[in-house]
Structure 1
Amino acid sequence: MTKEHEEIIIQDLKDWKRLIKPYASPETKLAWKQIFNTILPFIGIFVLAAIVYDYSLIATLLISIIGGLFLTRVFIIQHDCGHQAFFPDRKKNDRTGFLTSFLTCIPYKYWARSHNHHHAHQGQLDTRTIGDVNLLTVREYELLSKFEKFKYRIYRSVPVMFIIGPAYYIFIHNRIPFITLKGWDKERKMLLLTNVYLVLFFVVLGLVLCLPHFDLLYGFKKLAFIYVPILLTFVFTAIWFFYVQHQHDPNYKAWKKDWEYLLAAIKGSSYYKLPAILNFFTGNIGYHHLHHLAPKIPFYKLHKCSHENPVFQKHVSEITFWSSLKYAFYTLWDEENNRMIKFSQLKEIRVKP
């Protein structure tokens, strides 16, 4: 993206704050609607899976996968609570975010703070360690030793990023307070407490499931068979969506001294054009450029904001599911040409004068 293009975007969207303002306000009635059309169906699906378990494991697995899609939407509710964008009231947001974390297994306060850090620094090459997938510039990669290059290639490979990574993220990354920065004591403590609460929650759930047979082993095997696929479906979906919406090309990355918030939102995030059913399950997260521009817009108002203000679509990178598949292979930032590239493109960059 050239400087001229950047200036055009800034000029076209100079009134973005005024345009956003009518939508950046949560509404209690609409928030409760999302609770009823998301969490209640999720609970119903879990109960159905528990009933079907004794008759068909395949049917139970299929039901659990659907449950995982609903859990993705539950997580978007938790996500908006972390932005204080779901309910108008802070206490309601924090209570709802904490309670939904029992279902998602994502620690509410710890994750929300790291995610808000991501929002404040998204696209800044100076800050790539919190709430983001590690991304190297071509120059940084070239300076690595052979072993370090090998490690980075493994880390950014599709199997690690989209198969091993999601499982690691839900079962390890969000169980251990890896962020050790000063001032994070409260969040680290809440993460550890959340682990304790989750153990108690799932112990109680396992005991409830064992009641028909009064068999502890049966109850916890049943819980694992139902809930592990739910969690994995959710986290695979969530990581895919959050990943491709920042690894696309054209894109925007800059060092802090040159970084522009507006450009980071509009060009550093994408618009994932999806069918209505996927927008439902993913809580409109496809409107990622709008979400990064104004995280105070509740997910239930993102579509309306986009539909009523087409100027926000004018410069964004629009992607579809099929076009997004190639972004799984974009692994480096080419500073010379301001673009995301694959490892296979390194050779053509090197031969340039």
Structure 2
Amino acid sequence: MGRGGLREEKGVMASDFLWSYTDEPHASRRRQILSHHPQIKELFGPDPWAFLKINLAVLLQLWTATSVQNAGWLKILAIAYFFGSFLNHNLFLAIHELSHNLAFSTPVYNRLLGILANLPIGVPMSVTFQKYHLEHHLYQGVDGMDMDIPSHTEAHLVRNAGAKVIWVLFQLFFYALRPLFLKPKPPGVWEFINFLVQIGLDFAMVYFWGWKSFVYLILSTFVGGGMHPMAGHFISEHYVFKPGQETYSYYGPLNLLTWSVGYHNEHHDFPRIPGSKLHKVRQIAPEYYEGLESYDSWSQVIFMYITDRAVGPFSRMKRKAKQSE
């Protein structure tokens, strides 16, 4: 692999992405692990508790939204940051889980549950997210295919700590809007269903409980995706702090609230295993994971990203598309 742009020296930010000339590592590691530990296949399949967990989170967040209808704005902001953000980010990652059909064996049921999980987030995104996220798995790092990677515009603009602070605060917008600008896909029937159901909920929230309840939901989504401990996973998963590895796991306590998305190497190796069982992959095959760089604090990852002058949006691994793609 090589790095374009400026020389690789401490404190100097690159002017190009890290380029790899090998395939992404997960397919080959999956084959190796299954050859030595075939019992891992027993972990494949839906999480029987997913439906209940998602419904509880949705009901709790919608109830909280109705409860703050007469609260002051400062109180609403505080509740959104210290409580609602955790619920909405949990639901965002539930939608990630559902994009892999890990609540039901029948895909359409996962899609319907995803639309339900979307409700407190306030903006329709569950159906569109699945389209782009599955491509992230199929074409990890592939130029023009993997929309998880920042655009050249983002990378050229975010060149110092101040710009990185702003980028982190608004990273959810970049994450959501980037694929719509770089690789737009025509909406289908399910996008329209997602849109209509979501707008219906938003309208009902404003009509029956007022703007404060609706704004609470939007704030919970926005602050939960910015300078927030749970949002550290956006950076920790694939941003390269030490060249040589392109996917990183997090083994801290916030996995309990995030469908164990921190087990990210394990997830990319085995996307058919639900988050509730990913820790078992590491237990069964420790020799494949203990030698990899990992994190135990998402907040620390955000701090390192902002303060390390050599790290920025260009700190991602890319590879050229194959002719067959």
For the 8 Å contact 1:154–1:160, the answer to whether it is kept is no
Offset of residue 270 of structure 1: 0.7
Rounded to whole Å, the distance in 2 between the matches of 1:164 and 1:149 is: 14
Which residue of the other structure, out of 255, 263, 285, is the alignment partner of 1:279?
255
Q: Secondary structure at the match of 1:178?
A: helix
Classify 1:113/1:314 alpha carbon distance in 2 versus 1 (closer, same or farther; 3 Å): same
Measure, in 2, the Cα distance between the counterparts of 1:193 and 1:88.
21
Q: Distance in 2 between matches of 1:177 and 1:334?
A: 20
Relative to structure 1, the CA distance from residue 26 to residue 41 in structure 2 (aligned partners, 3 Å threshold; closer, same or farther) is closer
Alignment-derived partner of residue 186 in structure 2: 185
**Cα separation, 1, equivalents of 2:207 and 2:73:** 20
**What's the CA shift string for 1:228-278, capped at 9, x where partnerless?**
2211133225653122210133355xxxxxxxxxxxxxx421111212xx1
Q: Does 1:102 align with 2:119?
A: yes
Q: Is the 8 A contact 2:139 2:145 kept in 1?
A: no
Q: Which has the higher helix share?
A: 1
Question: Partner of 2:249: helix, strand, or coil?
Answer: strand
Corresponding residue for residue 289 of structure 1: 265
CA distance in 1, matches of 2:171, 2:316: 24
Match of 1:89 in 2: 106
2:51 is aligned with what amino acid? W
Partner deviation per Cα, 1:105-139 (whole Å, 9 max, x = no partner): 24222211111111112134xx2554213267xxx
- Partner residue in 1 for 2:5: none
- Superposed CA RMSD: 3.9
Pair 1:63-2:74 in alignment: no
- Check whether the contact 1:77–1:86 (CA below 8 A) recurs between aligned residues: no
Out of 233, 244, 248, the residue aligned to residue 270 of structure 1 is: 248
* Equivalent-residue separation in structure 2 for 1:131 and 1:169 (angstroms): 8
Counterpart code for 2:275: F
Alpha-carbon distance, 1:149 to partner:
8.1
- Say whether residues 1:24 and 2:2 are aligned partners: no
Matched, 1:229 2:235: no
The change in CA–CA distance for 1:90 and 1:315 in structure 2 (over 3 A counts) is: same
Q: Distance in 1 between matches of 2:154 and 2:95?
A: 36
In structure 2, relative to structure 1, the CA distance for the partners of 1:84 and 1:42 (3 Å cut) is: closer
Answering whether residue 34 of structure 2 is matched by residue 34 of structure 1, we say no
Per the alignment, residue 153 of structure 1 pairs with 159
Q: Post-superposition shift, 1:53?
A: 4.7
Counterparts of 1:148 and 1:91, CA distance in 2: 35
Confirm or deny: 8 A CA contact 1:248 1:327 kept in the other structure.
no
Are residues 1:242 and 2:234 paired? yes
The structural deviation recorded for 1:204 is 0.9
User: Are the counterparts in 1 of residues 85 and 221 from structure 2 also a CA contact under 8 Å?
Assistant: yes
Structure 2 counterparts to residues 1-353 of structure 1, below 5 A: 14-16=32-34, 18-27=38-47, 29-35=48-54, 39-54=55-70, 57-65=73-81, 66-104=83-121, 105-124=123-142, 127-128=143-144, 130-134=146-150, 151=157, 153=159, 157-167=163-173, 169=175, 173=177, 177-178=180-181, 180=183, 184-187=185-188, 190-191=190-191, 194-209=194-209, 219-220=210-211, 222-236=212-226, 237=228, 239-252=231-244, 267-275=245-253, 278-321=254-297, 323-324=300-301, 325-328=303-306, 329=308, 330-331=311-312, 332=314
Give the structure, 1 or 2, with the largest relative contact order (CA under 8 Å, sep 6 or more).
2
Change (3 A) 1:290 1:58: same
CA contact (8 A) 2:30 2:270 kept: no
TM-score of the aligned structures, taking structure 1 as reference length: 0.67
Rounded Cα–Cα distance in structure 2 between residues aligned with 1:43 and 1:15: 40
Distance in 1 between residues matched to 2:221 and 2:94, nearest whole Å? 16
- Structure 2: any 5+ residue segments left out of the alignment? 3-22, 318-325
How many aligned residue pairs are there?
285
CA distance in 2, matches of 1:239, 1:86: 23
TM-score of the superposed pair, with normalisation by structure 2: 0.72
Gaps of 5+ in 1: 137-146, 210-218, 253-266, 336-353
Which entry has the higher C-alpha Rg, 1 or 2? Answer: 1
Mapped to 1, the partners of 2:240 and 2:91 lie a distance apart of 26
C-alpha displacement of 1:186 = 4.3
